[in-house]
Amino acid sequence: MNPVISVKAMSTGYAGQPVVHDLSFDVLAGEILCLLGPNGAGKTTTMLALAGELPLIDGEIEFAGVKRNAPLYKRARNGMSYVTEERSIFKGMTLRDNLRIGGVGVEEAVALFPELGRRLGVRGGLLSGGEQQMLTLARALGRKPRLLLADELSLGLAPLVVDRLLEAVRRAADEQGTAVIMVEQHAHKALRYTDRAMVIRRGRVQLDLTGEEARGRIGEVEQAYLTVSGGDPKAGEKGDSR
């Protein structure tokens, strides 16, 4: 099977300075890759580059067999959806209208998240944080993307809601063959739903495990991104110079 997205020796960063170095992976249809790592590791930077929001410094990305450089609005049409912790909803519009504007049927959204069925007439701004994020995800998945990029989708939400969101992502992968790359803070939870886990530290891959391996080595995975020993020497320099 051809990968949906193939990343080869990618380096990316800001103003020509690499923050992520030599990153390579493929994600197949129906596969979920979870990126883990400490604050500042380069997870969001990686996602931005995959979404085409940041230029590559080196390497290449192939999406659906084609090297991509198109801006996000074009790629959304071509099957890539990008969601973040910022809920992309219209606060003054009802949930129903938010779905309509996103081109997603009410039945489809309610099939994903039955709890939204009772809230269709409620304005986006009055929905709970969890409901807003279910709406965001329903809009993203309702477009049947080939690739879903999800950066801390569940940030700040209650554990039960986190599970609802991750379950829906897993189902999209299993039932629609959506390829998924997600960044999650809750390693324990995220690893339950993932096929592959990469721990990134200081812009480099430190651990690259199958979901099963990662679930069996959860302590090691957490350790890899919780320990601060051997931290960035530059950070030390900065601290010293103060």
Ligand X SMILES: Nc1ncnc2c1ncn2[C@@H]1O[C@H](COP(=O)(O)OP(=O)(O)OP(=O)(O)O)[C@@H](O)[C@H]1O
44 binds Mg ion, rule: CB under 5 A: yes
Q: Of ligand X, Mg ion, none, which one sits near residue 77, judging by CB under 5 to 8 A according to partner kind? A: none
Smaller CB separation from ligand X, 21 or 143: 21
SS3 state of residue 60: strand
SS3 state of residue 156: coil
Which of 4, 5, 7, 19 is in the footprint of ligand X by CB under 6 A? 19
Task: Return d(Cα 139, Cα 100) in angstroms, integer.
Answer: 9
Give least dist CB 177 to ligand X, A.
27
Residues 32-61 that bind ligand X (CB under 6 A): 37, 39-45
Give least dist CB 45 to Mg ion, A.
8
Task: Return d(Cα 180, Cα 215) in angstroms, integer.
Answer: 18
Strand pairing of 32-36 and 179-183? parallel
Residues forming a β-bridge with 148: 81, 180
Task: Return d(Cα 55, Cα 79) in angstroms, integer.
Answer: 20
Binding mask 121-160 for ligand X (x = CB under 6 A): ----------------------------------------
Q: Of ligand X, Mg ion, none, which one sits near residue 14, judging by CB under 5 to 8 A according to partner kind? A: ligand X
Element (H, E) at 201: strand 196-201
C-alpha closest to that of 205 among 25, 76, 60, 61: 25
Q: Of ligand X, Mg ion, none, which one sits near residue 40, judging by CB under 5 to 8 A according to partner kind? A: ligand X
Give least dist CB 42 to ligand X, A.
4
| Residues 6 or more apart whose Cβ sits within 8 Å of residue 170 | 32, 193
Give least dist CB 47 to ligand X, A.
8
Residues binding ligand X (CB under 6 A): 14, 19, 37, 39-45
Residues binding Mg ion (CB under 5 A): 43-44
